[in-house]
Amino acid sequence: MSIEAQNDRIFKALANASRRSILDALRDQPRTTGELCSYFPDLDRCTVMQHLKVLEDAELVIARREGRERWNHLNAVPIKQIHDRWIGAYAAQAVDKLARLKGALEKR
């Protein structure tokens, strides 16, 4: 799969508030699918599983079976890659512009 196609999957996954909330729930530790379902009482299990599938396809979640349980682990590497490519460079430019503006204002 091309980098562009993978980035599209990541952005699609991150575009949904429920999926971002699932990633937030996985930030500190892996959780079983049952645990995740209990965090989202307004969503049925099938809907949570569909969101997890989108996150897995984007490689943001890695699922491992242990007996009868399915453990979901956050994979933050794709988010870091998106940050490095799309946010880091723009943020650096913005900080540079702010520093120049501050310098210009201080000269006055």
Spatial CB neighbours of 40, under 8 Å, sequence gap ≥ 6: 18, 21, 22, 48
Question: What Cα–Cα distance (Å) separates residue 5 from each residue in 9, 10, 16?
Answer: 6, 9, 18
Spatial CB neighbours of 30, under 8 Å, sequence gap ≥ 6: 71, 72, 73, 74
Task: Tell me the pTM.
Answer: 0.81
- Could you report the per-residue pLDDT of 5-54, keeping only the tens digit for each? 899 999 999 999 999 999 999 999 999 999 999 999 999 999 999 999 99
Q: What's the token pair of residue 9?
A: 């999957």
Fold (topology level) of 1-75: Arc Repressor Mutant, subunit A (1.10.10)
* Domain extent listing, the chain: 1-75, 77-108
Q: Residue written as tokens 């091309």? A: 2
